[in-house]
Amino acid sequence: MKQYFKNKFALSDRGAKEMIFGIVSVVAQNLALMFPVSLLYLFTGDYINGVDLQSRTGFYIGGIVVCLALIVLTSILQYNTAYKATYKESATRRISLAEKLRKLPLSFFAKKDLSDLTSTIMSDAEVMEHAGSHMIPQYYGSIISTLLISIGLFFFQWKMALAAVWPIPIALIIVLTSKSVQNYFFRRQRQAQIDLNEGVQEFIETSRDLKSNNAENEYLKGLDEKIDLLEKRAIGSELGTAIFVVSAQMLLKFGIGTVALVGGIMLIGGDLTLMQFFCFLLAASRLYEPMSGTLINLAAINALQVNVDRMNEINNTQEQEGSDSFKPNAYDIVFDHAGFSYEDDKTILSDVSFTAKQGEVTALVGPSGGGKTTVSRLAARFWDTDKGKVTVGGVDVKTVDPETLLDAFSIVFQDVTLFNNTVMENIRVGKKDASDEEVMKAARLANCDEFVSELPNGYDTVIGENGSELSGGERQRISIARAFLKDAPIILLDEATASLDVENETKVQGALSRLIKDKTVMVIAHRMRTVAGANKIVVLADGGVAEQGSPADLMKKDGVFAQMVRLQTEGQNWSIA
């Protein structure tokens, strides 16, 4: 049972166990609500039979107190198990999803977009939270309690019981058979919601470019169309659900009619007493009212499958695993016939072999899309190779836990990510326990002092969301300072100086030359002068290594690298006539 709920609703072990407790509490509450009906039945019987009600006053007052106590106790139990437990599970679900995402290879994120993943963690988890507290326990609890009450009615008078309960299974079947229709409409609605979220996010991120090109109005027209589409699909989803639910609820109403009809016939025929007839009328009123809400819950549970599938897609994705121990004999990076594809039909690297030696700078160059960034990501195990292998110091990186492996890497990405915090704390990301003096030393190595000294509060200046208060070059230098602070044996620089002017680039390269002693440095660059001092050049093209060697050797070879140098030299000499 626990495994069933765990798989069906993407729950943790604890969450599935508490879901069962929640269902039991709902059953207890529903049964407790039948006690007042029983008390009313006894009171009516005494009244009709002429029993002295004053002599029974104590019994009925005590019965009322017991009923109230049972209802209060079961309601408290239901709240604690179905609500409090659900909110704890919701927190656990969000944390587990985030933790799972942290352990997934970046190839997973290449197939997803930010809006989709955000929607899963926030929106889908919120939907499941509401379902766990207001729908799932109530649905299963109502079904079980209704089944128990129905069994009791069959023992009491089977013909009347049949007249009372026959609409219930048919109504449930009607709603259950609507699952595929509901999922179809809900998937369409969810996709429209994701498309709208992506559009809004893109508009915010690109508003400067849209404004500068007078393209805002045209873009907003597209957003209006996405809003209209979402509205239409939401209405369609609601209508597709309502057709089945309302039909099933209407069917329940016939139950009271059949109870009255069959009961009247049996009463006239002498096969049923007036009190028995009254009892079934009371029972029918208690059966159909909660079942009407149960049908709505069932329809909502049917629609949950889309949310559950999206969360299970994350939970079921294979994590990158490996040993927590990493003891290489050195820090040479060796690519041995490595191949990689983002998707089955999109090969990025087919056969890459080269060695980036410790104590040397290895530069990766080549045309856009040639796989330079992919190579660096494979070295740090952001992705895993499809064939061949990558080793660091003789150790296959696939055998090492990614977080353990990354302790050996300092990485500067082309796209810098900064936080809405001080300069000091943004640099300290590279080494969380670093002292202020260590942070400032790393900052000086990256030539950050020049602009930090001009900030209002120096290193204690808050730089805004993603460093919005700084220029591109200043943001890049903070990112480089992080790498200096971490002082790892392997350094990966992905267009690290792309946002720097010639003067600052020269300064940073001078700092790099002081940093790289006895380290393995892998540089990705498009500007040939950036890699002029590299020990080794690896030219990547068409999924493989086109050529490799020192800059001087490749210039003599007069191959791809020499052609790239000539083209860039011609571009630098270009001027407007």
Sheet holding 536-541, edge to edge: 395-396, 387-392, 333-343, 346-356, 544-549, 536-541, 361-365, 520-524, 490-494, 409-412
Alpha carbons 484 and 445: distance in angstroms, whole number: 7
Q: Can you read off the two tokens belonging to residue 483?
A: 């790498």
Q: Does position 574 have pLDDT exceeding 70, yes or no? A: no
Alpha carbons 365 and 560: distance in angstroms, whole number: 10
Element (H, E) at 63: helix 57-79
Q: What is the pLDDT of residue 408?
A: 92
pLDDT digits (tens, 9 = 90+) for 524-551: 877 777 777 788 999 988 888 889 998 8
Kindly state whether residue 496 falls inside one of the protein's structural domains: no
Per-residue HEC secondary structure of 125-151 comes to HHHHHHHHHHCHHHHHHHHHHHHHHHH
**Number of domains forming the structure of the chain:** 1
Tell which residue, 103, 98, 91, has the closest CA to residue 128.
Answer: 91
Residue 267 has φ and ψ, to the nearest 5°, of -65, -45
pLDDT digits (tens, 9 = 90+) for 285-341: 777 777 777 777 777 777 777 778 888 888 888 888 888 888 899 899 999 999 988
Kindly state whether residue 329 falls inside one of the protein's structural domains: no
Q: Does position 410 have pLDDT exceeding 80, yes or no? A: yes
- What pTM did the predictor assign? 0.66
Q: What is the pLDDT of residue 500?
A: 65
Q: What is the pLDDT of residue 577?
A: 47
Q: List, in order, residues 6 or more apart from 495 with CB less than 8 Å away.
A: 414, 524, 525, 526
Residue with the larger pLDDT of the pair 125 and 343: 125
- Helix/strand/coil for 40: helix
Q: Can you read off the two tokens belonging to residue 377?
A: 């990501």
Kindly state whether residue 263 falls inside one of the protein's structural domains: yes
Q: Which domain holds residue 89?
A: 2-313
Kindly state whether residue 344 falls inside one of the protein's structural domains: no
pLDDT digits (tens, 9 = 90+) for 71-82: 899 888 888 877
What b/e string do you get for 151-173 counting C-beta neighbours within 10 Å, with b at 16 or more?
eebeeebeebbebbbebbeebbe
Kindly state whether residue 11 falls inside one of the protein's structural domains: yes
Assess contact for 442 and 484: CB atoms under 8 A: yes
Kindly state whether residue 389 falls inside one of the protein's structural domains: no
Instruction: Say which range, 67-76, 154-163, 521-530, has the weakest mean pLDDT.
Output: 521-530
Tell which residue, 269, 18, 302, has the closest CA to residue 175.
Answer: 302
Kindly state whether residue 42 falls inside one of the protein's structural domains: yes
Q: What is the CATH number of the domain that holds 238?
A: 1.20.1560.10
Alpha carbons 274 and 45: distance in angstroms, whole number: 9
Q: How distant, in Å, are the alpha carbons of 4, 121, 125, 244 from that of 131?
A: 16, 15, 10, 19
Kindly state whether residue 435 falls inside one of the protein's structural domains: no
Q: Which residue has the tokens 């609703």?
A: 9
- What's the number of CA atoms in the CB half-sphere (13 Å) around residue 288? 25
Element (H, E) at 354: strand 346-356
Alpha carbons 541 and 375: distance in angstroms, whole number: 12
Assess contact for 531 and 525: CB atoms under 8 A: yes
- Average pLDDT, whole number, for the chain? 82
pLDDT digits (tens, 9 = 90+) for 194-212: 888 888 878 887 887 888 8
Alpha carbons 327 and 207: distance in angstroms, whole number: 48
